[in-house]
């Protein structure tokens, strides 16, 4: 059948997206990575820009492990041993030794009984939440939670859900109280690190509030966190928001694709919860896992993170983050307090944000501008992300370019 009739409304929607300035399909294509030299960190080249070097200030690879030689070697060795792909979903013939070893390491690293890996952290959230949300479950969610949490809740079709004001513990407690005695189970779900802002959830307060009321629900209050931006980038040993807040939630979800530099997602919890999810989560059961070689690379990344080398990388990351934040403050720019390497530069004006992004690009700096309707009017920003691959000279170069704007 012809697509001509369908393409008419699709083109109209694309035109509307372009008119709003929120298009994502025109991607910058990285054609190469230039090694660090002269005190500067690595640079990338882009299609259509020749050999011009660009400083990446928009990468989630917080520890620079995606280009670490030992991580690369681990993946190459595993590819030689196991091939390039799993060949099937796990319960058929797609489970390899590196998958199992990685899950054991993740469980140990996160201080849990068991872990399971997914093809992506987005898939993990989509695979976990709907399996825990029944018709007798009410869901409470932070208003700035990631799109994966929002869509997972939509997929589950809970009988009731409530969104509490961002990081507002009084509003969260009020929401819990409204449902006392009405449902068998409650789920409270939050991001660990909020990706647009770099601030973090007070998990210790959330857990304490939930414990005060969990006896009022026959199946308890289950706390869930997606700490994809936290693990490997936040906390003294890189254990994320749980480490910083000194607490553990019931179900912890995160990614292998940011600070750990590889691909995939995972969930850690009790052995019973993980066994249940292996039997019920369709995003796990019916999707191929990450490759054995990606698992081997993630194992190596975890080994690095959980070592003296990892502690040094984390300290460097914190030092560079402080350097950039202090430099922005000295230049009179506004940012949001916090220690995470996501540093939002609050511009609060759509046109100025777009101009500054272009100014940065002209001077060889890649940064992400966030305008309305991606963020509310008045919250327009440029999101910088610091990496352990950066150097003091990189930060000074960025600050110099911003000073000339």
Residues carrying an active site annotation = 195, 229, 258
**Alpha helices, H only, 179-291:** 203-213, 241-245, 271-280, 282-285
Q: Would you call 41 exposed, middle or buried from its count of C-beta atoms within 10 A (0-12, 13-18, 19+)?
A: buried
Q: Which of 182, 170, 175 is nearest to 216 (CA)?
A: 182
- Could you tell me which residues come within 8 angstroms of residue 236 by beta carbon, excluding any fewer than 6 positions away? 243, 311, 314
Quote the tokens at residue 19: 């008119």
**Residue that is written with structure tokens 């500054």 in the block:** 356
**Residue that is written with structure tokens 């209050």 in the block:** 221
Report how far apart, in Å, the C-alpha atoms of 368 and of each of 52, 118, 225, 297, 371 are: 19, 27, 25, 28, 10
State how far the Cα of 360 lies from the Cα of 358, in Å rounded to an integer: 5
DSSP state of 165: P
> Which residues face 35 on adjacent strands?
none
DSSP state of 90: I
Q: Are strands 365-366 and 342-346 parallel, antiparallel or unpaired?
A: unpaired
CA angle 249, 250, 252 (to 5 degrees): 70
CA angle 65, 71, 75 (to 5 degrees): 135
Quote the tokens at residue 111: 């201080």
Q: Which of 280, 275, 296, 292 is nearest to 113 (CA)?
A: 275
Full 3-state SS string of 2-24: CCHHHHHHHHHHHHHHHHHCCCC
Cα-Cα end-to-end distance for the chain: 53
Q: Would you call 379 exposed, middle or buried from its count of C-beta atoms within 10 A (0-12, 13-18, 19+)?
A: middle
């Amino acid at each position: 059948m012809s697509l001509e009739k369908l393409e008419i409304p699709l083109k109209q929607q694309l035109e509307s997206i372009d008119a709003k300035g929120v298009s994502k399909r025109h991607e910058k294509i990285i054609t190469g990575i230039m090694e660090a030299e002269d005190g500067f960190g690595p640079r990338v080249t882009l299609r259509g820009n020749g050999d011009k070097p660009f400083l990446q200030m928009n990468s989630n690879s917080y520890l620079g492990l995606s280009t670490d030689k030992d991580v690369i070697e681990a993946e190459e060795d595993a590819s030689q041993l196991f091939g390039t792909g799993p060949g099937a979903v796990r319960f058929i013939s797609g489970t390899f030794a590196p998958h199992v070893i990685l899950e054991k390491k993740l469980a140990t690293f996160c201080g849990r009984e068991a872990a399971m890996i997914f093809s992506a952290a987005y898939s993990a959230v989509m695979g976990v939440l709907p399996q825990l949300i029944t018709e007798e479950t009410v869901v409470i969610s932070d208003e700035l939670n990631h799109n994966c949490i929002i869509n997972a809740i939509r997929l589950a079709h809970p009988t009731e859900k409530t969104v509490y004001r961002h990081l507002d513990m009084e509003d969260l407690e009020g929401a819990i109280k409204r449902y006392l005695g009405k449902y068998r189970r409650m789920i409270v779900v939050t991001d660990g690190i909020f990706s647009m802002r770099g601030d973090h959830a007070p998990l210790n307060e959330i857990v304490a509030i939930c414990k005060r009321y969990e006896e009022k629900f026959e199946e308890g209050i289950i706390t869930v966190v997606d700490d994809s931006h936290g693990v490997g980038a936040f906390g003294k040993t890189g254990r994320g928001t749980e480490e910083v807040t000194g607490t553990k939630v019931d179900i912890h979800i995160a990614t292998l694709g940011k600070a750990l530099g590889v691909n995939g997602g995972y969930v850690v919890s009790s052995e019973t919860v993980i066994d249940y999810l292996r039997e019920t989560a369709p995003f796990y059961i019916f999707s191929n896992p990450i490759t054995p070689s990606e698992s081997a690379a993630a194992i190596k990344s975890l080994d690095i993170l959980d070592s003296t080398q990892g502690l040094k990388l984390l300290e460097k990351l914190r030092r560079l983050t402080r350097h950039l934040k202090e430099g922005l403050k000295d230049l009179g720019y506004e940012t949001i307090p916090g220690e995470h390497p996501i540093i939002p530069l609050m511009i609060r004006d759509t046109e100025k944000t777009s101009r500054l992004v272009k100014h940065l690009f002209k001077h060889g700096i890649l940064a992400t501008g966030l305008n309305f309707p991606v963020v509310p009017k008045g919250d327009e920003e440029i999101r910088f992300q610091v990496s352990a691959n950066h150097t003091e000279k990189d930060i000074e170069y960025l600050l110099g370019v911003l000073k000339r704007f």
